[in-house]
Amino acid sequence: MLTFINKNEIVFAAGKFVVLQHLHNQKTAFFEPPFVAGHAATRLGDVCAIAITPKRNKIAIARSAHSGLHRTESSIAIYSLQSNSVHVSETSSLEPIRALTYDTHSFSSLAFSHDGTFIVGQSTTSEWTFVIWDWMRARRVATADAHAKVTRIAFNPVDVAQVSTSGGVHLRLWRLAEPTCRPFATFHSANSAVRFVDHAWVGKSDGIVAILDNGDVQYFSHGELIRTIPSLHHGHMLQCVQSFMTSVVVGGDRGWISVLEIDTFQGNDMHMTRRMRLDTKETILALSIDAAGAGFICATPSTYGAYDLSNMCLLREDDEDISLILYSPLPRLSTMSSMAVSSRKHLIATTGKRFSGTNHSVCLYGQVNCTGVLHHAFQHMIPSCLDFHPSGHEVLVSFSAEVHIYHVLCESLKLAFEIDVKHASTVAYSGGGNYFCVLVDDKSVYVYRSFGSTEPLLVGICPVNEANVTSLRWGVDDTRFYTADDMGSMIEWSVGTDGFFATTQKTTTRTIGLLDRPLAYTTIASMRNPATGTPTIAASFVTDDDKSSIHVWWLGHISDTPIKSKDIDAKIVALEFGSSGVICAGTSDGSLLVFSWEMDKTTGVQRIVEPIIFDLSPSSIFSLRQTNMALLASTVNGSIFSLALEVHKPMIASREATKSEITTRSLLQSSACTHFTVALSADELCLVDRASISEKNLRITDLETEKEQIKTEKDILVKLNAEQLNLAERERQNELLVVKTALEAKLKAAEDEMQAKAHDAHSTLLAMKKDHEKSLQTMQSIFATKLSSMNETCRELERQLTRERERVDDAVFGGEEKMAVVKQDLESTHTKQLAEIQAKVDSLTKVLKLKESQYDELLMQQNEDHLFHVTSIQAAIERGRVEHGHQAESAKNSISSLQQQLRMMLNAMNTKDEQMSSLKADYLRLQKTVEALQNELVAEQTKAAKAVAESTRLEAQVAEQTRQIESLEELNNVRLCKLKTLKQTIATKEQEVQDMRVIVEELHEENSSVVQDANAMDDAQAQMQRKVRFYERTMVDQKKQLADVKAVVAAFHRDLGTLIEDDQHGHRLKIDAVVKLYYKYDPSNRKGRVIQREMASEEAIIQELSRQNKCVEDHRRKMRQRLESMTQERQKLVSVFSTDNTKLLRELNAMTRRNRDLQQQIVMLQLELNKKSGSKRRLDISASTPELKEPEVDEHNNNPEPTITTNVSKEPPIYIPCGLSADVREQLVPKTLSEPLKQVQRPRSSKPRAVATPEAVVTKAKPRPKSAHPTK
């Protein structure tokens, strides 16, 4: 049900409402349903039909009876579209101007007459009755039973008294005969299995175009079937048809659209002009043509859009793919499974299944102007639930095997993290976005900490014992959430001091069902009570007989007794708190229940009032979300409604408000962590809304996050573009190479083939030349003989032709004479008969007028018997008409015998007359067109003259205004220049004073840093000298021990050599000599060791000697390694000390130079101060500290140096600020400044440095201090 109002506005049905939408600014207005006395105004039936007048100034909407009401009375509401328009009216609802009712369940079709005075509605009763009303007077004109299914009813655009119906296997025409309608023509389909789908009248003619479900299109004119186009869309089923003037547009399955043209000048024939196909290949559900016939709009299952007929090219082939100008924000989902909102970015996210294919998608919409943000499709994955981060930059989606977190980019979703969780059914972010929970296997709740840029962290797992969780909802903050299970329990989980969630409160429904089991809470809602600041919890449950009830815990203590509502005869599937604390509940039949509060005067306790019911959609509501802008309700069939609840008085009035002082005192005393930090007076105290500040901070954070995401997306896009370009270039090169090789191969093959063909052709040509020469000679002889015979035959035929022409001329002349005589006789007889017939007609008309006057008199006198008199008069009229018809028929029969003889001869004359009449009609039409154009030209000239005069007046005003503005700007510039000069002079003075103060402070800081660096350098030098002395003493002791060891080893070698020589000379080696040698050189016990003498062989002696040799060698090797390590250590120390000394000297020289520069600046400043103040002061400047030479360090020399001796003076020099060097005996005291000096601070360059292995020292030039620049 989609209708074009004009080029900017359309009307379509959404749920149980009809919407008027502006196509360009997307503003919408809703048609208010009519009020029916004795019934609830908010209980609406389904929208079953829409009709609009040909002038597009009135619209009719038919609604069926609501299924929950005990009535079967359907309504038709008529609205005016002239004063109510989206771009004119600021209201969002349109009121009906007339309402009609009829006792039926619903209407299948509506139609206005061409003048808009009558409306016909086709009901769905058992007899398929249709009713015609004069809706301006609310009078029922006629009622008739069709006795067959009717899907479309329409008025004849030429004759108001003619109505057409189609449906099933029939197409029927009806004639109005008050108080009923009579059928006078019925057309049936050729096959009982083929049915009429739709039909439409063609412009201002008596033709009907009907479509059948087998793809055929039929055209009827004057009650006869003229043309049938079989299989218009290649056998696909047709869905709808619309007409404008002589053009017809047909829509069908698979996106097929055809444009047909009715040729009224060539025998009312129909032909196809163009056949097209949508690029989406979706079924065309509805069509509507623009009021000017320039284009049409069509609706598909997922979207709706327009097509401009000026883009249709007749020179192209049929079956071309076309694209619509889409007006829907995003493709509509066939079934919606979940919805989430972002509280700070005002976005809506939905998941569901698409109409085309089996893919599931995520759609993001804006709440402000209902624009589509992005559409993301999942390949081979089915999302079960999703939730939006409050910032709007993250989307949490759960699948059967894992949970994904996506970043919301400008045009797509980017996968950020994957959480390996199986069988996740529900996901939800907390109110602040710091946590999110995942319901797994309907048994356990996994709580994660969300960090945004890093991977989420699992905080804890909350098991719900053996029951299955039926509902999960976060509280008003990040510290608690609520779960409900199928055992009737509801549990509050709160975060503890250890950071884990644990059970704090628990309650049950306290209601037993028909199966002796507790009823379970199915939905939970929470809000912050504005009166007390505590959370308010609401939950609903459904009984076994599909009745629902709501429990509310006003102070958030679910263990207390709740406030209960009355049982509701509906199944609540969604629950949410609205504005001012009202409770909104969505039911399975598409209704919204709004519960308000009232105070019981007797008990003083709040109670829930009977709900107000709003019917939104024929399908179930599965989600409700409240934002600071509106209440959002989403249905299963893919519709989202944005509702604004206007509460005229505060709904929240708590009886606890009188006890706020006692409650606050008890809360402060019971809280262990509550303490006061400061006490303020009333003048210093101000109240700040923490929510506004936190919202601003969160918005700033969101903007920064969005900025980072945009940068990341930009980098990714740049990389992807570069990769795509490289890949495309490589693919292009490969394709070019392949094509080149293929073409070269084809070219070679073609050349070979052409050479072979040329050779064959040459050989065949030679053979054909020979044959042709032979046959040519024979044919010439045959042709000569035949030519002579043909010449003779032609001469004979010419003679016969002249004789026949003479005979025909004689016959024609005689026929013309006879025709003139017969024509005169015929005209005389015809005039006589016409006179007799006219006399009879005049007498009959007189009789008819007499009867009509009698009928009027009888109608006024006898109202009860008017039907009998009408039928008698009509019978008399019919008999007169029949007699007149018989007489006319007899006259026609007598004339037709004569006309048949002249019809063949008068055809040429008739054709010429028709051509002349058509030329005269064209001339008159063109003459009228020229006159109309001349009138329009005169009107346009007058308008142009007025516009020129107005423009000259406006130009004069603009020139005057510009002159005034220029003068004001000149004055403003002068004042600004003066103000700027004054500001500059004041700023220069203030800057000079500030620079003087800064320079003095910098001088003091630099001097203090020089003193500290000098003292630290002296301490480091003294410590270095002490270390050097210690290492020198250690080296001397080690050398002495090494000399002793070398002497002992030499003596041992000498004694051992004598023993070996004796053994070599033949002297038997005795064990006593070996023992003595052992005792002599035993390092552990040289004095009192006694060894038992034992008999030993020569092998034992050799083994003992070899063992001792090994020990000696090991000892020597260890001593050598130790000596080398000591040498390396010594070398390292030497290099470290040398580098440190070099750095210290460089720093000292730099400080000396800086000190000299500072002294010069102080002298300059002192001179300036003396000039200004008139005082003569002079600062004594002594000689600067001389620069020390840096020793050259050879980093490539690894040879150990013998010793390093450093001469340290007993009395180290003292370094005084301004570069003055003094001895202990003579020290200079610097003069004090006018202002007190600040405390001495350690400079940044004097931090201790880490000592590492010697490397090449790379020194960087220090920046010159700010105060040292001569220009400052």
Which domains does the chain possess? Answer: 1-36+43-188 (2.130.10.10), 229-328 (no CATH), 331-463 (2.130.10.10)
Give residue 1200's pLDDT: 45
Place of tokens 């076994």: 544
Whole-number pLDDT of residue 1256: 46
pLDDT of residue 602: 61
Query: Which carries the bigger pLDDT value, residue 183 or residue 374?
Result: 183
Q: Evaluate if residue 1236 carries a pLDDT over 50.
A: no
419 beta partners? 403
Q: Is 711 left (phi over 0), alpha (psi -120 to 50) or beta?
A: alpha
CA distances from 587 to 351, 434, 622 (A): 20, 32, 8
Residue 1210 has pLDDT above 60, yes or no: no
Q: Is residue 1260 scored above 80 in pLDDT? A: no
Ranked by mean pLDDT, which of 39-53, 682-696, 1181-1195 comes out on top? 39-53
Query: pLDDT at position 586, please?
Result: 92
Which segments within 450-605 are labelled E, that is strand?
457-463, 469-474, 480-485, 489-495, 501-508, 521-528, 535-542, 548-553, 563-564, 572-577, 583-587, 591-595, 597-599
Tokens representing 636 are 């299963």
Please give the Cα distance from 483 to 549 (Å, whole number): 18
Rg (CA), the chain: 55
Q: What is the pLDDT of residue 525?
A: 92
User: CA 808, CA 375: separation in Å to the nearest integer?
Assistant: 84
| 608 close to 593: Cβ distance less than 8 angstroms | no
DSSP 1006-1072: HHHHHHHHHHHHHHHHHHHHHHHHHHHHHHHHHHHHHHHHHHHHHHHHHHHHHHHHHHHTTPPPPHH
For residue 902, how far is the Cα from the chain centroid?
A: 77
Residue 448 — pLDDT band, cuts 50, 70, 90? very high
Mean pLDDT to the nearest integer, 915-927: 78
What is the per-residue pLDDT for 899? 64
> Is residue 489's pLDDT more than 80?
yes
Please give the pLDDT value at position 36.
60
Average pLDDT over residues 645-649: 66
What's residue 828's pLDDT?
80
Pairwise pLDDT comparison (1037 vs 830), residue with the higher score? 1037
Q: What is the pLDDT of residue 858?
A: 67
Long-range contacts formed by 1258-1264: CB under 8 A, 24+ apart:
1259/1146, 1262/1150
Q: pLDDT tens digits for 332-365? A: 887 888 899 988 888 889 988 887 666 788 888 8
Characterise 1015 by phi-psi region: left (phi > 0), alpha (psi -120 to 50), beta (else): alpha
**Pick from 782, 732, 1218: nearest CA to 1011:** 1218
First and final CA of the chain: distance in angstroms? 80
For residue 668, what pLDDT is reported? Answer: 32
Q: Give, for 151, the enclosing helix (H) or strand (E).
A: none
Which of 460-464, 679-683, 840-844 shows the highest mean pLDDT?
460-464
Average pLDDT value for residue range 384-395:
89
For the stretch 68-106, pLDDT in tens is 555 578 889 999 887 555 444 444 678 888 899 888 888
Where does the pLDDT of residue 1183 fall: very low under 50, low under 70, confident under 90, or very high at 90 and above? very low
Residue found by looking up tokens 């089991």 in the block: 517
Q: How far apart are CA 1251 and CA 807, in angstroms?
A: 141
Q: What pLDDT is stored for residue 1093 in this prediction? A: 36
pLDDT score recorded for residue 1241 = 45
372: tokens are 């589509």
Contact 523, 573 (CB under 8 A): yes
| pLDDT score recorded for residue 132 | 94
Measured from the Cβ of residue 1137, the count of other Cβ atoms closer than 10 Å reads 17
Range in 488-492, 625-629, 648-652, 766-770 with the lowest mean pLDDT: 648-652
Please tell me the chain's helix, strand, coil percentages from 3-state DSSP, rounded to the nearest 5. 40, 30, 35
CB atoms within 10 A of CB 460: 18
pLDDT band at 1101 (very low <50, low <70, confident <90, very high): low
Contact between 237 and 215 under an 8 Å Cβ cutoff? The reply is yes
Q: What is the pLDDT of residue 119?
A: 94
Nearest to 395 by CA among 374, 377, 413: 413
Output the pLDDT for position 695.
60
Give mean pLDDT, residues 118-127.
92
User: What is the number of alpha carbons within 13 Å of residue 524 lying toward its C-beta?
Assistant: 28
Helix spans in 474-559 (H) = none
Q: What is the pLDDT of residue 816?
A: 76
Task: Compute CA distances 263 → 163, 202, 223, 266, whole Å.
Answer: 23, 11, 17, 6
CB atoms within 10 A of CB 590: 23
Predicted pLDDT of residue 43: 72
Six token digits for residue 1229:
């005291």
Please give the Cα distance from 109 to 111 (Å, whole number). Answer: 7
> What value does the mean pLDDT of the chain take?
77
Q: What does the pLDDT look like over 1036-1076, one tens digit per residue?
A: 888 888 887 787 777 778 888 888 877 777 777 777 777 77
Q: For residue 211, which of 186, 246, 236 has the smallest C-alpha distance? A: 236
Gap between the Cα atoms of 191 and 115, Å rounded: 37
Dist. CA 996–CA 181, nearest whole Å:
108
Verdict on whether the full-model pTM lies above 0.75: no
User: The tokens of 384 are what?
Assistant: 């079960």
DSSP 1147-1204: HHHHHHHHHHHHHHHHHHHHHHHHHHH---------PPPPPPPPPP--TT--SPPS--
d(CA 337, CA 381): 14
The strand pair at 295-299 and 286-289 is best described as antiparallel
- H or E element at residue 366: strand 360-366
What mean pLDDT do residues 476-499 have?
88
Q: Give per-residue pLDDT as tens, 778-804.
A: 777 777 777 777 778 777 877 877 887
